[in-house]
Structure 1
């Protein structure tokens, strides 16, 4: 049996990200899923780019604030305690708009935890 307790505030933030990102799965020793906590100030994006995953499912649970997720069809607004789920091959860009009143804090879970599964998405202009 194995158990791990992680204090997210004690996990180092990732460098070169558009917002604060803490990789909780690594700190917990998890290998089959990715668990990350994001804090995005107004005007900040969560991912590095508009993208999709070929294999990974993702779920974004909003801990505080409102998360905006742009997709090819529409932009969703996910309020606190809301969950936004993304199937593989579904492009999305999660962000906190510049005119937001506060930060958005999100717990993101993805499985399987696959390296190199991210593909950029270029919307038609």
Structure 2
């Protein structure tokens, strides 16, 4: 058994964002499940934009507040004590569109997602499916899985 106080887990910030995100996976020694805690202020998002994990199922449980998820099918408001699930390959993004903070637990299985896609056509080969989001030690870029064309991100 593992136990952790969320306040004891240091927030993890990504470049250009100030979202209170706390990775609970390692703190709980989870081996098969990614677990993240988020406190979103108004207009903050759980992700950097529309994306899909091709190799991971995601569930978002809203503890407090309301988070609006955008999908190709429309918007879905998820309130306190509600959850939403995205199967592998389902595109989504989200935002706290309310005037109050929202608290969310994000669960992903399997734990490690390495195939994240954005809905963007490749300018080189015209593949209209999606580009793969790739993180390296030098930064991040988008790459076409069909032709290998690399699109640098600023």
Q: TM-score, normalised by structure 1?
A: 0.89
2:26 aligned partner: 26
Counterparts of 2:51 and 2:79, CA distance in 1 = 22
How far off its partner does 1:115 sit?
3.8
How far off its partner does 1:49 sit?
2.3
For structure 1, which segment, 44-53 or 56-65, has the greater mean C-alpha deviation from structure 2 after superposition? Answer: 44-53
1:83 aligned partner: 83
1:103 aligned partner: 101
Cα gap change, 1:27 to 1:107, in 2 (>3 Å): same
Counterparts of 2:12 and 2:90, CA distance in 1 = 25
Deviation per CA, 1:39-93: give whole Å up to 9, x if none: 1100111112211001111100000000100001110001100010111100000
Structure 1 unmatched runs, 5+: none
> Do 1:18 and 1:45's aligned partners in 2 also have CA atoms closer than 8 Å?
no
- Which has the higher relative contact order, 1 or 2, with Cα contacts under 8 A spaced 6 or more apart? 1
Counterparts of 2:75 and 2:41, CA distance in 1 = 18
Helix, strand or coil for the counterpart of 1:9?
Answer: helix
* Rg (Cα) greater in structure: 2
Counterparts of 1:110 and 1:65, CA distance in 2 = 21
2:56 aligned partner: 56
1:65 aligned partner: 65
Length, aligned pairs only: 120
1:8 aligned partner: 6
How far off its partner does 1:122 sit?
4.1
RMSD of equivalent CA atoms? 1.7
Counterparts of 1:38 and 1:110, CA distance in 2 = 14
